[in-house]
Amino acid sequence: MNKAVIRAAKKTFIAFKNPYGSVEKVYPHIIEAYDNSGKNPVYYVGVKNTSLISPGFIHGLRAGGFYLHTLDKASISGRAVDIFLQNPYTGRPMTGSSSGTAINVLLGINDIGIGTDGGGSVLAPAISVNLFGFISPLLDAQKMKNNKTRVATDGVQFRPSLGCMSKKIEIVELFARMSLQGFEPKTNLRGARIFCDVLPEIDTKGFGIKKIDLSFKDASREELLKKMPGLLASADVIVSREGPVDFEGMGDTVLGHFDSATAALQKRGNKGFVRVANMAGATALVMPAGDFACAFVLMCESTLPKINKMFGLARKMPAFAQADSAFDKYFSSAEEYFPGNFGDIE
């Protein structure tokens, strides 16, 4: 039997098992995609269960081999933490609001998850479980522009953007290629203006990186949004190292607004620019930085030339994907969820 089909069937087995309560609906019939795929890869997709995402956009991704596999649970009211789901690593409340989407990618149920990001709702969950994440207001732009503006708990108005998360940067790139006309990572970065706070370990031959002070990333959203336009305009790509997300604290404005103690707890959630990247109209990419729930946050103005440079820079950075990690079996191995029981015939 085709090994790819067996692996796909096991993804669906785990989805139906739903060990972390992160799945709302499963579409098992998509295994039939392997009949028509030939030698082309088939990618299982999880989608945040929200009307903000267009079914037409998801259907259009089939041309690239992306097939809807699950509808994923999201935090109530778009809250930045989901008190009903647990982070599989820590057992603490899962980062939201695309909480179930991130979990289902971590568990190997899906190869890629698609969610919406207002104030970090894709980027932060991705970081919290060491995934790659990507958002841009250019994704399905016309549909997303027709969605109503919303107001965050701290009073900031925003319009959500689409985004995705995956264990593999290559799948994120393919998604971007399918979704953004003119997307082509620029490998020659000569003359690129790249600013960062912590210098990533990369070969900078042919271009330079300027270290700047980004310690103000912990300021209020209102303060950050005043500085973001100038910051983004001054560079082709901004790189900020952030995290650990929701490990030392809980980055949630609902809880954080009560008093100084809860405000301090919120700050220790270590969500910096991810809270405002979408609100500032930026395109952003998060890349696991090696330490738990930490990432390099790459941001740029939402133009194709800058997005291409951002992905070109990402290609030069270490990719700390977790697909081959020693502990991957704890989350994405079907055998762990369906172990042999006493008396079973082997």
Task: Read off the pLDDT of residues 45-59 as tens digits, 9 standing for 90 and up.
Answer: 999 999 999 999 999
- pTM of the full structure: 0.95
Alpha-carbon Rg for the chain, nearest whole angstrom, is 20
Q: CA dist 327 to 89, 112, 244, 322, 323, Å?
A: 10, 20, 19, 9, 9
At 27 the pLDDT is 98
At 286 the pLDDT is 97
Tell me phi and psi for residue 157, to 5 degrees: -85, 145
3-state secondary structure of 194: strand
Contacts of 296 (CB under 8 A, 6+ apart): 200, 239, 240, 241, 242, 286, 287, 289, 317
Q: Would you give the distance in Å from CA 155 to the centre of its chain?
A: 24
Residues in the chain predicted with pLDDT less than 50, given as ranges, are 323
Instruction: In whole angstroms, give the CA distance from residue 302 to residue 243.
Output: 24
Closest to 219 in 3D by CA, of 211, 209, 231, 227: 227
Q: Are 70 and 12 in contact (CB under 8 A)?
A: no
Q: What is the pLDDT of residues 1-12, one digit of tens each?
A: 588 899 999 999
**Lookup: tokens for 177:** 């290629």
If residue 25 lies in a helix (H) or strand (E), which one and from where to where? strand 23-26
Instruction: In whole angstroms, give the CA distance from residue 163 to residue 321.
Output: 18
At 323 the pLDDT is 45
Q: Are 202 and 317 in contact (CB under 8 A)?
A: yes
Tell me phi and psi for residue 163, to 5 degrees: -160, 175
- The Cβ of residue 330 has, within 10 Å, a number of other Cβ atoms equal to 12
**Lookup: tokens for 54:** 């267009």
Contacts of 259 (CB under 8 A, 6+ apart): none
Instruction: In whole angstroms, give the CA distance from residue 310 to residue 283.
Output: 9
Task: Output 1-10 pairs: Cβ under 8 A, ≥24 positions apart.
Answer: 2/34, 4/34, 4/42, 5/31, 5/34, 8/34, 8/42, 8/44, 10/334
Give the type of residue at 145. K
Topology of domain 3-323, CATH: Amidase signature (AS) enzymes (3.90.1300)
Q: Are 110 and 84 in contact (CB under 8 A)?
A: no
**Lookup: tokens for 249:** 């604290």
Q: Are 130 and 138 in contact (CB under 8 A)?
A: no
Q: Which residues pair with 81 in a beta bridge?
A: 95
Q: What is the pLDDT of residues 168-220, one digit of tens each?
A: 999 999 999 999 999 999 989 999 999 999 877 888 888 889 999 999 999 99
Instruction: In whole angstroms, give the CA distance from residue 134 to residue 176.
Output: 9
Give the type of residue at 185. P
Q: Are 14 and 332 in contact (CB under 8 A)?
A: yes
At 2 the pLDDT is 84
At 152 the pLDDT is 64
**Lookup: tokens for 213:** 């002070």
